Amino acid sequence: MCVTIALSPITDSYRPWDYRTRTITLPDTLPAEHRLRVVRAVLAELAVPQTESGARCWCGAAVELPRIPQRTRRTTGMVISHGA
Ligand SMILES: [Zn+2]
């Protein structure tokens, strides 16, 4: 089971981490250059060892972040999952 990275507007039900779906949700207002750092921080909180660069899932795979151009992104959000 692997982590899913999602982007979402901050709402009353916003959760940075949902253990049921294993989804890390980033605020959609978070600048792209900060997303990796936040994902790493959340994973570290979950006791997943992080390497020098990039973010690592607990299975050891590199975590891919959603890449949404600022000018063309939609407000519906986007989810990228990786692994099996
Ligand atoms: Zn994984």
Q: Under DSSP, is residue 6 helix (H, G, I), strand (E, B) or coil?
A: strand
Q: How confident is the model at residue 32 (pLDDT cuts 50, 70, 90)?
A: confident
Distance 2 CA to ligand 1 centre (A): 4
Distance 72 CA to ligand 1 centre (A): 28
**Closest to 79 measured CA to CA, from 61, 62, 65, 60:** 65
Where do the H-state alpha helices sit in 1-84?
32-45
Domain ranges of the chain: 4-81
Distance 15 CA to ligand 1 centre (A): 20
pLDDT score for 47: 94
**pTM (2 d.p.):** 0.73
Averaged pLDDT of the chain: 85
Distance 83 CA to ligand 1 centre (A): 6
Distance 70 CA to ligand 1 centre (A): 27
Q: Read off the pLDDT of residues 35-62 as tens digits, 9 standing for 90 and up.
A: 999 999 999 999 999 998 899 999 999 9
Cα–Cα distance measured from residue 27 to residue 40, given in angstroms and rounded to the nearest whole number: 15
Does the pLDDT of residue 73 top 60, yes or no? Answer: no
